[in-house]
Amino acid sequence: MSRRDLLRGLGAGAGAAGLGALLSACGNAAGASPTITSLPLPRKNHPVRWPIFKDNQPIPSGLKPEVGATLKLYNWTAYINQAVINNFQKKYKCSVEWTSFNTITDAISKIKSGEADYDVFVPTPDNLGQLIEAKLIQPLNHSYIPNIAQCWPDFLNPFYDQGWQYTVPYTVYTTGITWRKDHVDGNPAQWKNGFQFPWQKKYAGKVAILDDYRESLSLGLMYNGNYDLNTTSASQLRLSKASLDDLDTLVGGVQIDNNDYTNVPSGQVWIHHAWSGDMAAAASYMPKGVPVEVVGYWFPANGVGPVANDNMVVLKTSKAPVLAHLFLNYFLDLPNVIENISFNGYIQPLIKCTPELLVQEKILPPSLMSTVVLPSYFRNGLFELELPPTADVQWEQDWLEFSGGI
Amino acid sequence: MSKTTPKARNTREQRWVWGLFSGPGIVTLIVLFVVPFYVVIAIAAGTLDIFESPVPAWNPLHWRAGNFTSIFGDLVGRGAFIGPEFVRTVVYVVIASLLSLVIAYPTAYFVTRWAGRRKVMFLLLLIAPFWVSYMMRMLAWIDLLQTNGYVNKVLGDLHLTSQPVNWLGGKASTVILGLVYGYIPYLILVLYAGLDRIDQRLLEAGRDLGLNRWRTFMRITLPLSRQTIMTGMLVTALPMMGDYFTNQLLSATPRTAMIGNLIDGQLSTPGLLPQGSALSLLLLVVLLPLMIYYVLQTYAASGRAA
């Protein structure tokens, strides 16, 4: 059996999943279950309105917050400011228990297993389909979240969740290139294709890419001028992998890690494929005597590069759903958002949360203004979205063959 | 009608009571080895659902060979890519094991023969690394080896290097050093236990018959510790073969990836989990002869001792 046969056979297991028929894009009837055998794949030109199931309705309006309850938050490591959580606890006389995860796949597996009863979770749009279809998250009651009005209008009707039925935005970020100006000649903006910047032999041993199969294979695609970051073309993926192999050979071993925010400030790496929010926090990790101005971050000025956002959702298992809604609302209020960004680095998409305000509040050094995600980036940017399972396994396989599992 | 004598009944009861003592071991073996092992097989022989979650094939009649043949294809077929990781693993483990032996044997020998009353103190020092978690020890190496770390500072101060060495930039030597450092305490302890058991009278007899220290060592101590060396090497080499953490922390580049990294990569990717299970089973098959050899040697040694 060839690998292609194996991938083709993947669908054969779908029937055994026992999850029933899956729903179509733009579904509308509550509890409708047409015989569709794949999840809808939200795209900018193919927005999805997810169904509201009869047995998974939003909570009623006008309920009081649960008294003395413990709100359980399931979030990425070091991805929220404890000080803001403390203020929320005081305001609503509750306690917040925070559990962290390192990879989204681990988190989804744990939630699917039903072994934990969290209230609030922070997924990316590409995982929404399975969370909604398996009824792991509950639809939101908008009356508890008036602060949505503070967000960019894009999030009132995002293509991945039309009508924001299940999600509110948490952070927005871009994926670009960070570099040490004191060690590296030039900058990516001077290159015709700035995503080719890491391919420089003279910086051997000092180049790193992100440990994320979607992000790094996308880098390989963009190196070759392909901006379809949701491609299902096996040949394009092989080309991307070949480019990453070339990079590894060229720089005498490319490092694969997500420590862009520590390795670049420390000088361990000089050119790093990086997340904007990580680099916005670079000032906190600079060694003594090294100014943060030596760190640069580049993302295409026309906004045509990878952008993404994380969401906050309320899990179906929530024992304090009103508090959970209020928690979502609290993290969409400008003063709390500013305080949260001061620790987290990642921008939140509020209309008044501008680059100028962040610099004025001394949250962001002027030299790293490029890490701010502008609404135009969000509109022109390239989203890495949910793929058909066979294509996703192909991405995973190509990444494994390149990385060796490192 | 036969009659059971009190003596025979007593013997049967005793056997039954002693048999009970094996209960906890058997239960542990079933719960922590047999059941998980079956789960791994069921996942490796199963399929994926539409969310890329594995669907284990619990019924052996429904087992599929796809993931196993695919792994063989990855190893020797047209699209083979596992070969370099496999060869690298063997080379790294052999070098790290030999280096460990070169360091551990004299250390264990010294503690056994020459430490005298300070033997306990030395033993405590030898097992001290066990008190710190493996992860913490490896993280400490990152601090030491990074570009502006202490190792580069010392090398620079001694004018041994003109510019900082990029130890963490994908060097095989760093990974091997990490493996040696991580597993050497196990080897020292095994060697110490073996060397300490050698009958002193044999050494005295050798000396009485005119052998000098070196020849006593070569003719008596070394041959008698051969079994211990084999055991110690196996005890350290087997976990080294499956190690992935050391490599991930001290190198993080594809060019030093080992078979453990591949398995870890597959097991932490939902769509590749069945393949990871199949590769784990393949690794087990490769290591099985070594384990059988170890068991046979131990059995033979205990027979000789009896």
CB A207 within 8 A of CB A270: yes
Residue B117 belongs to a domain: yes
Residue-averaged pLDDT of chain A: 88
| CA–CA gap between residue B254 and residue A74 (Å, rounded) | 32
Is B268–A403 a contact, with Cβ atoms under 8 angstroms apart?
A: no
B106 pLDDT above the threshold of 90: yes
Query: What is the model's pLDDT at position B68?
Result: 87
For residues A275 and A28, the model is more confident at A275
Is A105–B269 a contact, with Cβ atoms under 8 angstroms apart?
A: yes
Residues of A in contact with B59 (CB under 8 A): none
Query: What is the model's pLDDT at position B87?
Result: 92
Q: Considering only the beta carbons, identify the residue of B146, B148, B253 that sits closest to A406.
A: B253
Is B269–A2 a contact, with Cβ atoms under 8 angstroms apart?
A: no
CB B179 within 8 A of CB B172: no
Is B266–A5 a contact, with Cβ atoms under 8 angstroms apart?
A: no
Structural domain of B101? 83-268
> Which tokens sit at A204?
């051997």
Residues of B numbered 13-52 whose beta carbons fall under 8 angstroms of chain A's beta carbons: which are they? 46-52
Flag whether residue B248 sits within 8 Å of chain A, measured between CB atoms.
yes
Confidence at A11, pLDDT banded by 50, 70, 90: very low
Q: What is the ipTM of this complex?
A: 0.82
CB B240 within 8 A of CB A374: no
Residues of A in contact with B55 (CB under 8 A): 13, 16-17
Query: What is the model's pLDDT at position B306?
Result: 55
Domain A176-306+386-403 CATH (choose: 3.60.21.10, 3.40.630.10, 3.40.190.10, 3.40.109.10): 3.40.190.10
**% of chain A at pLDDT higher than 90:** 73
Which tens digit of pLDDT belongs to each residue from A190-224?
999 999 999 999 999 999 999 999 999 999 999 99
A378 pLDDT above the threshold of 50: yes
For residues A133 and A243, the model is more confident at A243
Number of inter-chain CB pairs under 8 A, A vs B: 150
> Which tokens sit at B240?
């080294």
Average pLDDT over residues A349-376: 92
Flag whether residue B56 sits within 8 Å of chain A, measured between CB atoms.
no
Residues of A in contact with B65 (CB under 8 A): 1
Confidence at A333, pLDDT banded by 50, 70, 90: very high
CA dihedral B202, B206, B209, B211 (to 10 degrees): 180
Q: Considering only the beta carbons, identify the residue of B69, B252, B257 that sits closest to A1.
A: B69
Query: What is the model's pLDDT at position A390?
Result: 87
Residue B252 belongs to a domain: yes
| CA–CA gap between residue A189 and residue B245 (Å, rounded) | 37
**Domains contained in chain B, number:** 1
The residue with tokens 């979240």 is A145
Is B50–A389 a contact, with Cβ atoms under 8 angstroms apart?
A: yes
From A136, A58, A96, select the one nearest A323 (Cα to Cα). Answer: A96
Query: What is the model's pLDDT at position B304?
Result: 64
Residues of B in contact with A206 (CB under 8 A): 166, 169
Flag whether residue A19 sits within 8 Å of chain B, measured between CB atoms.
yes
From A337, A382, A350, A330, select the one nearest A154 (Cα to Cα). Answer: A350
Is A37–B272 a contact, with Cβ atoms under 8 angstroms apart?
A: no
Residue B153 belongs to a domain: yes
> Which among B269, B275, B280 is the top mutation candidate for probing chain A, defined by the most A β-carbons within 10 Å of its own β-carbon?
B269
| A300–chain B nearest CA distance, Å | 27
- C-alpha distances (whole Å) from B52 to each of A4, A105, B48 are 16, 11, 5
Residues of B in contact with A267 (CB under 8 A): 147-148
Flag whether residue A352 sits within 8 Å of chain B, measured between CB atoms.
no
Residue B56 belongs to a domain: no
Give the gyration radius of chain A's Cα atoms. 21
Confidence at A145, pLDDT banded by 50, 70, 90: very high
Residue A383, classified by CB atoms within 10 Å of its CB into exposed (0-12), middle (13-18) or buried (19+), is buried
CB A94 within 8 A of CB A73: no
Query: What is the model's pLDDT at position A4?
Result: 37
The residue with tokens 């228990």 is A97
Flag whether residue A256 sits within 8 Å of chain B, measured between CB atoms.
yes
Residue B105 belongs to a domain: yes
A120 pLDDT above the threshold of 90: yes
| CA–CA gap between residue B178 and residue B140 (Å, rounded) | 11
What residues does CATH 3.40.190.10 cover in chain A?
A: 46-54+63-172+307-383, 176-306+386-403
CB A178 within 8 A of CB A264: yes
CATH number of B95's domain: 1.10.3720.10
**% of chain B at pLDDT higher than 90:** 41
Residue B51 belongs to a domain: no
User: Which residue of chain A has the CA closest to B84?
Assistant: A404
Q: What CATH number should be reported for the domain whose range is A46-54+63-172+307-383?
A: 3.40.190.10
A102 pLDDT above the threshold of 80: no
CB B63 within 8 A of CB B229: no
Residues of B in contact with A403 (CB under 8 A): 254, 257, 265
Residue-averaged pLDDT of chain B: 87
Average pLDDT over residues B196-212: 88
Query: What is the model's pLDDT at position A17?
Result: 35
CB A33 within 8 A of CB A21: yes
The residue with tokens 């990879």 is A103
| A179–chain B nearest CA distance, Å | 16
User: Which residue of chain B has the CA closest to A255?
Assistant: B253
Is A1–B70 a contact, with Cβ atoms under 8 angstroms apart?
A: yes
Residue B244 belongs to a domain: yes
Flag whether residue A2 sits within 8 Å of chain B, measured between CB atoms.
yes
Average pLDDT over residues A69-92: 94
